[in-house]
Amino acid sequence: MAHPPQYGTRPVIRRAVIGLFALVVLLLVLGSLLIYTLVGTAPGNRWLLAQASTVIPGELTVENWQGNLLGSVELSGIRYHQPSVTVELDHLSARLQLMSLSRGWLTFEHLSVGHLLIQTAPAKTASDDSSPLPDSLALPLGIRIEHLQVSAIQLNDTQLAHGMEGESLSAWRRFQLARLEGQVLEDLLFNASAHGELTSPYTLESRIRWQKPLPASDQISAIQASGELLAKGPLTALQLSHDLQAPLIIHSQGQWLHRDDQWLIDLQHAWQAQPLPLTGDNRLKLASGSLTTRGPLTALQLKGHTALQRSRPEQQDLRLDILLDSSLTGESLNISELTLRQSDQRLTGKGSIQLQPVKWDLALDGDIDTAIFSPQLPGQLSLDGHSKGQLDGSRWQLEPGTLTVTGHLRQQPLTLSARTQGSADNLQIDSNLLWGNNRVQLTGKAWPQWQLTGQLSLADLSQLDATLQGSLTGNLQILGKTNAPRLSGKLVGKHLGQGHLKLQNMQAEFQNLGTGGQTQQLTLSGSTLHQDSRLLLDTIHLAVQGKLNRHELTLGLRNGDTTLETQLDGALSLPANSPLSWTGTLSQTRLQQQHLGQWKQAQPSALALSLARQRLGNFCLQQQQSRLCLDGSLSNGDALTLEASANALPLALLSSLIGPDYSLEGTLNGQASLAGRLAAPSGSLSLNTEGARLTFNVDDGPPPWVLDTLSLNSELDGQQAHTRFVLATALGQINAQASHGFSLEAPMEGQASFRIERLSAVEMLTADLRDVRGTLNGDIQLGGTPGEPVIEGVIALQEGHALIPALGTAISDIDLSLQGSPKGRLAVSGQALMGTGTLKVTGYLDPARWPMALSLKFSGERLLVADRPDAKVWVSPDLSLDGDLQGLQLSGKLLIPEAAIHPEQLPEGAVTVSDDQVLVHQEGDAGQRLPLGMDVTVTLGDKVNFNGFGLNANLGGTLQILQQPQQPPQLNGQLVVVKGRYRAYGQNLAISDGQLIFQGQPDNPGLDIRAYRKIPSEAITVGVQLSGTLQTPEAVLYSDPGMEPSQIMSYLLTGRPLEGGTQSDANRIAQALAVYGLEKGSGVTDKIGEKLGVDEITVGSDWETEDAALMLGKQLSDRLYLTYAIGLFDAVSTVMLRYTLTRSLHLEARSSSEANSLDLIWEKELR
């Protein structure tokens, strides 16, 4: 069988293959064209979007599509709607990489989203669902976004985030977020990264860092808050960890989980002790504590505790413990307990607060130590209060609420009761405060307008504040709008005081005081204003009337013969955002005083006052041809401008300042011009006098001083001044010039020279010196600082002389010099004649130290310090005076080698001043003198004689005088009567062993003195031994040989025994007993009575005077008694004869050298 040729079928197969390939190529081309048409053209993209809209649940619409998916695409007006949610996007632009679709990924090189609005439908009751999420949220293909931008995301009416940027975002069966940052809410910045599964159980791990700036505050120093959140684990059991890093450090740990078909929170927040970020207060700290938030979101439990702790130097820290137990259920916050506790103090709140609508029912009670508010308010108070009400928009309602406070404050009982009730249309308040003796009542309407009346009865202001004194009573009325109340009332004050100021009486009446535009009135008057014991003002009167923008103020002050009156007219401005200011005029000022005369304001002066600037324009007071003017301003508390002048000011106005013994004549002219900083102004100052003269209004005073030249000129240049002073009189001349600053530390440099040839000016300063002569020369250079001056040069007193009339001596040939040195000390060297002795002075003054220090030594031999008829005394000092102007110490030795003291005899009948009497003309105590301490040893030489008051004795001994500043002196040692006699009652008594022993107080030395008398004719010695102290002496009679005290007294005073005495001798003996008060005196008078034949000898008061008298009595019969009285201190003698008629009725006849009388006396003893 023949076979067909093989080559015949190959062309057919080749053509078939070619045709099939062409068909495939054609299909590919057609498919590519179709894909390009769908993907690479806008119509194709819109067709794809329309097909996808039919598949996607809900409605998807796009208003505008530009570009294509192969390049970049921009869409606008995008809206997606479902019954439960609506999503609107105003703009979207993207650039895709479609080639990644071959690997199952849709990749966006860039995706920019505009404002994304998500609106959700009202929530419905959730159906039971065992799983909160589907089993998978995996996408059909992966989506990767290399760079993402989102302008804003808004959920319903809340803007959640804006300005978001992200990198490397991907999602398929898993998701990953490399970086996403932006701003949440208003100003919370975040940076997040995360990765996890998109299938159940949705495990994820994320980290979010955030920070939020804090508003500026004067109390809080922190400027931002920041933290970091870590989340890890399944979405239904997510483990959370958060660290708050600022402004406090708080660590939070817990879970977010889904259990029993609901979302639960279980978080524990804990912190360690740390300081609170408060400005200027680093002592207040937050103690360690914790807070637990647990439960479902619909019933969240909140429990925690912490404390605030304040450290106090050298005291125990204060600690305030805080305890919270509450729950948040839906729209209601239920507070089981919120307690603040500090030591024994407690404040506890309980109740509930409903958020929508706002309702509350709260109770408050506690115990408070008020010293925590201020140490000046110690006390313990108990609080009990209750409030219940509701708020609906601008409408609110308060049910009757109470607040009661009881306890003690500043050791005074306190009770406060307040009751409130009402609504937004009418809020009523009724309160009563009783604190000690002070009461305040306030009753009336408090909202929406004030209509309150009050009673004020503050009977003791010191119970409110220890610095206050007096009482204040009155009534008050508060009316008007809540933001502009008007205050009216009347207040009366008595014995008001604060600190050193005291006002005897005060009365104030006011009407419609406030910040509104109403007419207001205030009248205030007061009397007797003291500062300590110094009277400042007798009367005060202040009156204000008008509106804030136009009112008038008058002020009147009076103190003694000085009165000041002035008037202000102006306006007070209270702008909302600016400080208040006052502008107006000052006029009708009048100043009047007895010595100053009357000064009146020449013309009205502009006055402007504000916190930033104070300005007074051309204010002048004038009196005849005299004129005082002032014009200036002060800005920002530092910038000063000032022009002042004084023209023809009478110097006589200053006479009252220098005392009645002097008077000034002439006039004073001056100019001052200052500008610049208050602490360092620039300008000039000049003062000069014309026709100045000082007259001495005293007897034997020097002639008037004519002040030929008296001028002061100063140029100010910032913190430096260049001053020149010139004084020229007939007595001498002083010239000084210096460059100096205005503080104690500022350097100074200058020089001064003077020559005073007449020193009679010293006699002005003291009445103890007269005939003061000499020449005083000085040429010195000033350096250093006012606080530590350096004085170089010499000040010398030559040929000085002065009389001391009170001592009868003179100091002559005075030669004294002060030599300056670079160290600042002034070396003192000088000498003077006192009698024939020379007093020498050496040492130094140190003005560089303040108070000025000094150290001086005084020495000399036989200086005549007293030369009077009754005393002539020489001393030899070796003394040192050291210290400063706050206290000096005098120490050393003082020898009295010779003295002759002959005091004048007191006249008979002279009476000494009682210790309890005060002579009002005497000088006051030298309590204001320079404090002086002493440690001086005084030695009496062998030529010290005292002859007076019947005593003629030579004295000796040594005394040490010790004295602390401002304390009485103490004396230790003894004075010895070396040899002496005492004459009394016509007898010379010899003194032996006489000593006055000092052991402290100088007015009560111990006594050891023996005075005796010898009777040679009878070989008898009698005497008195004095012991004890000067204030309580003890006297004992003695004799040799021994005898009765009455005989001793008779021999001592008469030289004869008692039996040989006369009636006159007996009187003398009795008088001696009365004057000296000898021990056992009654026994002696008994002996005398026996000798004289009388029944009674007594010493007491006579019947006509209260003076002491010697009384002799004799009972003549049963009913008749005779008494004879002799005055001990006068010459009055009285005879009284008393006849007893009955036990209660007596007849008395008296006869004396001054009067005679006959009396019938009835006596009755009251039981």
Tens digit of pLDDT for each residue in 370-396?
Answer: 877 777 778 888 999 888 888 887 787
- The confidence score (pLDDT) of residue 907 equals 46
- The confidence score (pLDDT) of residue 921 equals 40
Q: For residue range 836-848, what is the model confidence (pLDDT) as tens digits?
A: 999 999 998 887 7
Q: With contact defined as beta carbons under 8 Å apart, do 1003 and 1032 qualify?
A: no
Whether 1104 shows a pLDDT value over 80: the answer reads: no
| Cα distances (Å, whole numbers) of residue 202 to 7, 136, 199, 237 | 68, 8, 5, 10
Site of tokens 């140490």: 375
Region 877-898: what's the mean pLDDT?
A: 89
With b for 16 or more beta-carbon neighbours within 10 A and e for fewer, the 278-297 pattern comes to: beeeeeebbbebebbbbbee
> Residue 78: which of 94, 91, 95, 59 has the closest Cα?
91
Q: What confidence tier does 1142 reach under pLDDT thresholds 50, 70, 90?
A: low
> What's the rounded Cα separation, in Å, for the pair 39 and 54?
18
Q: What confidence tier does 970 reach under pLDDT thresholds 50, 70, 90?
A: confident
Q: What confidence tier does 754 reach under pLDDT thresholds 50, 70, 90?
A: confident
Whether 314 shows a pLDDT value over 80: the answer reads: no
**What is the side-by-side strand order in the sheet with 1156-1162?**
1096-1101, 1108-1115, 1120-1127, 1133-1140, 1145-1152, 1156-1162
Q: DSSP secondary structure string, 319-370?
A: EEEEEEEEEEETTEEEEEEEEEEETTEEEEEEEEEETTTEEEEEEEEEEEEG
Q: For residue range 410-419, what is the model confidence (pLDDT) as tens digits?
A: 888 999 998 9
Q: For residue range 1150-1159, what is the model confidence (pLDDT) as tens digits?
A: 777 666 676 7
- The confidence score (pLDDT) of residue 520 equals 92
Region 485-492: what's the mean pLDDT?
A: 92
Q: Which amino acid is at 957?
A: G
Q: Which range, 22-26, 191-195, 953-957, has the best average confidence (pLDDT)? A: 191-195
- pTM (2 d.p.): 0.53
- The H or E element containing residue 657 is helix 655-658
DSSP bridge partners of 844: 827, 855
3-state secondary structure of 98: helix
- The confidence score (pLDDT) of residue 1153 equals 66
Cα 272 to chain centroid, rounded: 38
* Average pLDDT across the chain, whole number: 81
- The confidence score (pLDDT) of residue 1070 equals 57
To the nearest 10 degrees (0 to 180), the angle between helices 1045-1054 and 1081-1092 is: 80
Q: With contact defined as beta carbons under 8 Å apart, do 984 and 1000 qualify?
A: no
Tell which wins on pLDDT, 330 or 536. 536
Q: With contact defined as beta carbons under 8 Å apart, do 742 and 718 qualify?
A: no
Q: With contact defined as beta carbons under 8 Å apart, do 363 and 338 qualify?
A: no
User: What number of other Cβ atoms are within 10 A of residue 68's Cβ?
Assistant: 19
Q: For residue range 729-738, what is the model confidence (pLDDT) as tens digits?
A: 877 888 889 8
> What's the rounded Cα separation, in Å, for the pair 856 and 844?
6
User: What number of other Cβ atoms are within 10 A of residue 570's Cβ?
Assistant: 21
- The confidence score (pLDDT) of residue 826 equals 85
> What's the rounded Cα separation, in Å, for the pair 151 and 210?
19
Q: Which amino acid is at 1079?
A: E
To the nearest 10 degrees (0 to 180), the angle between helices 1081-1092 and 1063-1076 is: 170
Q: What confidence tier does 511 reach under pLDDT thresholds 50, 70, 90?
A: very high
Q: For residue range 644-684, what is the model confidence (pLDDT) as tens digits?
A: 999 988 887 777 667 677 788 888 899 999 998 887 888 99
Q: Any long-range contacts for 631-639 (C-beta under 8 Å, 24+ apart)?
A: 632/674, 634/678, 636/612, 637/678, 638/677, 638/678, 638/679, 639/676, 639/677, 639/678
Domain coordinates in residue numbering, the chain: 54-121+135-200, 460-468+490-513, 731-858, 932-1042, 1094-1167
3-state secondary structure of 122: coil
> What's the rounded Cα separation, in Å, for the pair 65 and 306?
60
Between 201-215, 218-232, 418-432, 991-1005, the lowest mean confidence (pLDDT) is in 991-1005
> Residue 69: which of 103, 91, 93 has the closest Cα?
93
Whether 1054 shows a pLDDT value over 80: the answer reads: no
Q: With contact defined as beta carbons under 8 Å apart, do 412 and 435 qualify?
A: yes
- The H or E element containing residue 804 is strand 789-804
> What's the rounded Cα separation, in Å, for the pair 108 and 1075?
134
> What's the rounded Cα separation, in Å, for the pair 336 and 325?
6
Q: Hey, what are 400's tokens?
A: 């009757």
Q: For residue range 816-829, what is the model confidence (pLDDT) as tens digits?
A: 998 888 777 888 99
- The confidence score (pLDDT) of residue 984 equals 55
DSSP bridge partners of 318: 310
> What's the rounded Cα separation, in Å, for the pair 12 and 212?
81
